[in-house]
Amino acid sequence: MASEYTTTEYIQHHLTNAQMCSVNGEIAFNKACSGSGFWVLHVDTMAWSIGLGILFLWFFRSVAKKATTGVPTKTQAFVELVVDFVNDNVTSTFHGKSSLIAPLALTIFVWVLLMNLMDLVPVDVLPAIAGMVGQYGFGMDPHDVYMKAVPTTDLNLTFALAMGVFILILFYSIKMKGISGFVKELTMQPFGHWAFIPVNFILETVTLLARPLSLALRLFGNLYASELIFILIATIGLFQLPLHFAWAVFHILVLPLQAFIFMMLTIVYLSLASEDH
């Protein structure tokens, strides 16, 4: 597939989302969406993220329904290992009391991990399949069919995840401290004098907003760079397989680490928000 484009066109094609928008009341795609404003849907990001989320729920639910108290199957043992791993981290990190944190942490870890693992799929496979579907199913030019299969390389998705965490941070802060306590936390720290209220407010607001921003940009930056390297390796041609294999082996360690970091930072931020002092 790389031979059909120049290197620049090939990279741009693989880094472009399948976009859908409304232009003059009609549904339009990609090139027709340029200049259409804010409301542009990244169809591939939504499809893959929702699909992988459903896969996670179905798999864990099916294993839970078949779980036994006797000798577990390998699948049950694997799921129990994941659940125990997440639960141990929540127990040691979250110092408040909430029945939401452990399921939330499990969902974040497994869901982000599944989305990250899409990075190991060879970069030409899914776009080529999408191109054939577009060509033979809808009569489209394959060059006009786009497919980004790694949802976490889309800044919209990582910011959406981070915004969900940010809303929970605000919820737990107000729940534990009350509105007056939360306002006091923003205005009377780190300098406990009324004359420093403007300075305190600026410092604490920047700290508060930096949490979701760092969550979103860290995950996006690492996965985007990883995907870009896979794409660059694919432009080499016949000699790409050894490099692709080496980079994929390295990423078997990196991809779970990024999911773990996102989960742990979420737990830490919610733990800090739950402190009532």
Question: Which among 36, 89, 98, 218 is annotated as catalytic?
Answer: 218
61 catalytic, yes or no?
no
pLDDT in tens, 63-77: 999 988 888 889 999
pLDDT at 4: 60
DSSP string, 50-112: HHHHHHHHHHHHHHHHT--SSSPPHHHHHHHHHHHHHHHHHHHH--S--SSHHHHHHHHHHHH
pLDDT at 275: 76
pLDDT in tens, 16-51: 888 888 777 777 777 777 665 667 889 999 999 999
Computed over every residue of the chain, the mean pLDDT equals 87
**What span, in angstroms and rounded, lies between the C-alpha atoms of 229 and 233?**
6
34 catalytic, yes or no?
no
Question: Which among 34, 62, 87, 214 is annotated as catalytic?
Answer: 214
**What span, in angstroms and rounded, lies between the C-alpha atoms of 200 and 190?**
6
- The model's pTM is 0.89
What residues in the chain have per-residue pLDDT under 70? 1-5, 34-38, 237-238, 276-277
Nearest to 231 by CA among 11, 7, 13: 11
pLDDT at 36: 59
pLDDT at 22: 76
**What span, in angstroms and rounded, lies between the C-alpha atoms of 215 and 199?**
25
49 catalytic, yes or no?
no
Question: Which among 49, 222, 226, 274 is annotated as catalytic?
Answer: 222
pLDDT at 103: 94
pLDDT at 2: 47
